[in-house]
Amino acid sequence: MKKALPRMLPPEQRKPDSQYRDLLRHVLKHGERTKTQMETDAITIMGPPPLRYRFENGFPLLPDRNLEPKVSEKLPVTIWRQAVGEILGFVNGVTTVEELANFGCYWWKDFATEKKCAKRGLPTGDLGPGSYGGGFAHFPTKDGGEMNQFAVLLDQARMNPLLRTLLVTDWIPYFIPRGKGYEQKVVVVPCHGVAVHLRIINDKLTLLMFQRSADLIIGVPSNIAQYAALAMALGQVLGFPACEYVHCFSDAHIYVHHLDIVERLIEREPRPFPTMLMESEKNDLFAFRHEDFEITDYNPYPGIKNIPVCV
């Protein structure tokens, strides 16, 4: 049985949120045009203001464009569900395209091609031990073992909810460098989840995620949704309702081939956030799947088709 968690105001009492489009405007105004390794220039800024989403104002599934389009043979699972499935897969230590598909996320096949994987000495479809799931669930330890960081985080939070050290990372430094003298073991270096910091303040849970590299058009709308859903799941498992999700950036950028899309998005008037329903009976973080979540009261603008992706 699903129910709305955490407590959210009735839809008619929620205030439209303009933080995302304000961020787009900020990058356009203050960013610099830069070359990138993707062979596409970007408008880039370091350390823009964070986004802060209070769950009482609804679930931060951006309505600026439709992230719940109709499913089809080409799109078997809708966008926001793929995002939630992806983060749940990573929390469970998933490191391959095939495993991600089992969690309902299908967009990694273009990143883990035979050519890209062979370049790093990995089988086709393997994201590598330095990928998100590798860092979260198989972090190498000094004795040659591995650490499931979310399992430890849950244990620590239950032991002492007041700790300020409830933090995990998917960043494994020695799998990242490339070039002579290094052996990179990750197909895509982690962009999000470089720091995921949980705080329980006055019996309410706040989750902060630090993102190293943020593609504001393709990646960030999904990243917001997936970490907000993770905050809700953590809150239920620990017994402290999620009250806020905070999204922090280092390198935030808009690729120049997305500039026309940005102009369309910032012209749209803000709309209220929807409601997220979540399976209320689960108390095991690692048992959650995207099917345990359901969006209602979602009133987005039309989707934007064929947005170019830098692979």
| pLDDT tens column, 130-151 | 999 999 999 999 999 999 999 9
Is 89 among the domain residues?
A: yes
Is 133 among the domain residues?
A: yes
Q: 69-73, 124-128, 134-138, 158-162: lowest mean pLDDT where?
A: 69-73
**pLDDT(183) > 80:** yes
**pLDDT(234) > 80:** yes
DSSP-assigned states of every residue in 106-159: -TTTTTS-HHHHHHTT--TTB--TTSHHHHHH-EE-TTS-EE-HHHHHHHHHHH
Decide if 229 contacts 275 (C-beta within 8 A).
Answer: no
Structure tokens at 62: 């951006």
pLDDT at 311: 61
| pLDDT tens column, 153-166 | 999 999 999 999 99
pLDDT at 75: 80
Q: CATH number for the domain including 102?
A: 3.30.572.10
User: What's the pLDDT band for 225 if we cut at 50, 70, 90?
Assistant: very high
d(CA 218, CA 214): 9
Residue keyed to tokens 């949980």: 198
Decide if 167 contacts 135 (C-beta within 8 A).
Answer: no
**pLDDT(245) > 70:** yes
pLDDT at 244: 98
Is 145 among the domain residues?
A: yes
| pLDDT tens column, 76-114 | 899 999 999 999 999 999 999 999 999 999 999 999 999
Is 108 among the domain residues?
A: yes
Look at 305 and 278; give whichever has higher pLDDT: 278
Nearest by Cα to 228 from 103, 61, 94, 105? 61
Return the H-helix or E-strand segment holding 264. Answer: helix 259-267
pLDDT at 37: 86
Is 228 among the domain residues?
A: no
What residues contact 47, with CB distance under 8 A and at least 6 apart? 249, 250
Is 252 among the domain residues?
A: no
User: What's the pLDDT band for 235 if we cut at 50, 70, 90?
Assistant: very high
Catalytic amino acids?
191
How many beta carbons lie within 10 A of that of residue 253, not counting itself?
A: 23
User: What's the pLDDT band for 309 if we cut at 50, 70, 90?
Assistant: confident
User: By percentage, how much of the chain surpasses pLDDT 90?
Assistant: 90
User: What's the pLDDT band for 44 if we cut at 50, 70, 90?
Assistant: very high
Decide if 277 contacts 4 (C-beta within 8 A).
Answer: yes
How many beta carbons lie within 10 A of that of residue 242, not counting itself?
A: 26
Count up the domains in the chain and report the number.
1
pLDDT at 5: 66
Average pLDDT over residues 42-61: 98
d(CA 26, CA 247): 16
**What is the extent of the structural domain holding 170?**
73-206
**pLDDT(45) > 60:** yes
For residue 2, report the phi and psi dihedrals to the nearest 5 degrees. -95, 150
Is 201 among the domain residues?
A: yes
Is 82 among the domain residues?
A: yes
What residues contact 302, with CB distance under 8 A and at least 6 apart? 65, 66
